[in-house]
Structure 1
């Protein structure tokens, strides 16, 4: 199979979109498929043995945003893919889907970033409706749109976006593991984060407005805790002001073993933002054996079973967030039981199984497109 991946985000930028694209590329390489990547400028020249083609980009909130380029259709035409994968399509991805249609190639679009939610959160009024119209227009062009959660599915169905299917995300079950807690690296980090044996309440992710990390201020005055924040981003000054005087350790952006060690050093994982279409860090926390506290909104609804592997607090209610965290702080046995339940919940979500499911979607849209051509009796070569 020949797959062209068009991604709005790619290395060196670290994001949920980048992670999933890299895992898909690794899976394609391991299983003998061919692929190319089209991504914003600044990306490496290849990944997993596949060439990476870059297009001009502009910086937005420390992220490169790929701009439509006349080279996209030429790159696709030269490669002649069997399917185009558009990861979180916005500007670049929308162009890729349109080019695929002109070339007669089926496309799979991955809904991963809530653009319309961003407009609503920032009280942009009429822009929210415009954002949804744009999202619908982009995804109507795709042969199939894969959504990560039931909340995203409901949102897109309510806007009558067609050809939807559920595709979750994988998690590294080996790298993120409860056994890491016994390593010397984690013991050393615990001494730094909890010198007096505090309960460590941790967060991993972007320091950006939509993540709403400022809501950790709800924990001010909670006895016996320390906060550990992993990540960076444009909201760091605002978060620092909101949490001033609280016991916070800023660990910065981490990856690989350092990131896995950070998770293993936490006792509780908290995510406060209400705009997650999925919630990859929640899965990583569960894989690490942690109870998770998250809002009852968006992707976390599918990942956290309230009272079993964590708590879902009332969205936008800081008192309820505090109540959930304090319940876990007071009860180490409950933390342990919920952490074990979280680990069990993700055991079937290895990246291998999730990527294998994605390839099934590829094959289905390829077969569907071939059936259309057979029905209309128009040679594929003429369509291209």
Structure 2
């Protein structure tokens, strides 16, 4: 199978979209498929605004980098330039069997249109609740416009994939059809309780405190400032792993917290396994991969009861869900586990058990089945169109 992967966000910027795309590419290589990646470049340069400083190849597959501009206020996020015609030429040159569009918005929408013009099937992955970001960034009037754009993109796609029941309901409420589940795998070697590190704990909590951990971008949509209600809990230390545009502001709002900065690979695995409790306050998660990773490291979770966490956290067994916006409830749920070692241990064991079997290999095999579904649906649609044209 030949798969064109169009990524709205990609290396060197690491986030949930980038991570899942890399996992997919790795699986395609192992299964003997062919792939091409189309992604935004890291920067503009030169008189022709040529792309640079981005990988030319990932997992043995070529990467076509389109020139891109930084998102205002968030320079690590790039918005690709280029026309539908340019994307169409790239797709036509590769001649894919299916076009995988990861978290479509700007570049992804061009790819969907280009694929339509070429008669190619598209798999669109609903992975980022961008309309919810509007209010967080002071643009609440833009939310309805953005939802209309989401509807247009997914109505135009052959097959749509969502990671959670909450996101499934969101697309269904928009009237989107051909929606199926495609959740995420977890790297159980990287996120493993055996990686718990005495050295990390000594550095992050030198007085032997229990660690309340968060991992994610330090950006408005993650609502990290909500964790201020946990910053002064006796016998605990709030540990923040990640970087982003709000890092300096959050250091001021969380004066007692330990900021570990951006971590990846084994360093990230060690940090997560060294937490005693994982917290996630962001209300706009379609899935929340970091929750799965914490559970795989045998760490119980307290998360907001909206979006992807509703599927991931079995409240009162693997962690607690708190009412969105109720920060007193957040604090109470954290206290319940931080000051009851027996209960926290039981929740931790249940959390680890809940993610057993969620390997990337199994998840990506499911994705290939979705590719085949999209190819079949598109073929049937084109056949129907041909018969309709002949009957005229």
Question: What TM-score results when the alignment is normalised by the length of structure 1?
Answer: 0.94
Among residues 357, 366, 369, which one is paired with 1:348 in the alignment? 357
Counterpart of 2:152 in structure 1 is 137
Offset, 1:377 = 4.5
Counterpart of 1:271 in structure 2 is 280
SS at match of 1:315: coil
Give CA-to-partner distance per residue, 1:160-216, whole Å, 9 cap, x none. 1222111111110111111112xxxx1111111222221101111100000011111
SS at match of 1:65: strand
Indicate whether 1:239 and 2:239 are aligned: no
After the TM superposition, which residues 367-378 of structure 1 pair with which residues of structure 2 at under 5 Å, given as runs?
367-377=376-386
Offset, 1:376 = 4.4
CA distance in 2, matches of 1:46, 1:174: 25
CA distance in 1, matches of 2:366, 2:348: 27
CA distance in 1, matches of 2:100, 2:291: 25
Indicate whether 1:126 and 2:135 are aligned: no
Offset, 1:155 = 1.2
Offset, 1:373 = 3.2
Offset, 1:71 = 2.3
Indicate whether 1:175 and 2:190 are aligned: yes
CA distance in 2, matches of 1:264, 1:121: 31
Give CA-to-partner distance per residue, 1:119-160, whole Å, 9 cap, x none. 244453431111111111111111011011111111111111
Offset, 1:66 = 1.4
Counterpart of 2:346 in structure 1 is 337
Distance 1:14 1:320, change over 3 A: same
Indicate whether 1:205 and 2:216 are aligned: yes
SS at match of 1:36: strand
Q: Which segment drifts farther, 31-40 or 121-130?
A: 121-130
CA distance in 2, matches of 1:198, 1:280: 26
Give CA-to-partner distance per residue, 1:273-326, whole Å, 9 cap, x none. 111111000000000000001000000000000010000011111111100111
What stretches of structure 2 of length at least 5 have no aligned partner? 43-53, 388-392
Indicate whether 1:91 and 2:106 are aligned: yes
SS at match of 1:113: coil
Counterpart of 1:253 in structure 2 is 262
CA distance in 2, matches of 1:73, 1:101: 9
Among residues 304, 309, 313, which one is paired with 2:313 in the alignment? 304
CA distance in 1, matches of 2:138, 2:361: 40
Is contact 1:189–1:265 with CA below 8 Å preserved after alignment? yes
Counterpart of 2:4 in structure 1 is 4
Counterpart of 2:236 in structure 1 is 225
Indicate whether 1:325 and 2:307 are aligned: no
What stretches of structure 1 of length at least 5 have no aligned partner? 379-384
Counterpart of 2:50 in structure 1 is none
Counterpart of 2:51 in structure 1 is none
Counterpart of 2:47 in structure 1 is none
- CA RMSD in angstroms, aligned pairs only: 1.3
Is contact 1:68–1:91 with CA below 8 Å preserved after alignment? no
Give CA-to-partner distance per residue, 1:335-371, whole Å, 9 cap, x none. 2211111111111211001100000000011112222
CA distance in 1, matches of 2:142, 2:381: 37
Offset, 1:237 = 2.0
User: What is the number of equivalent residue pairs in this alignment?
Assistant: 372
CA distance in 2, matches of 1:94, 1:377: 26
CA distance in 1, matches of 2:198, 2:89: 53
CA distance in 1, matches of 2:320, 2:139: 31
CA distance in 2, matches of 1:316, 1:68: 40
Among residues 94, 98, 110, which one is paired with 1:79 in the alignment? 94
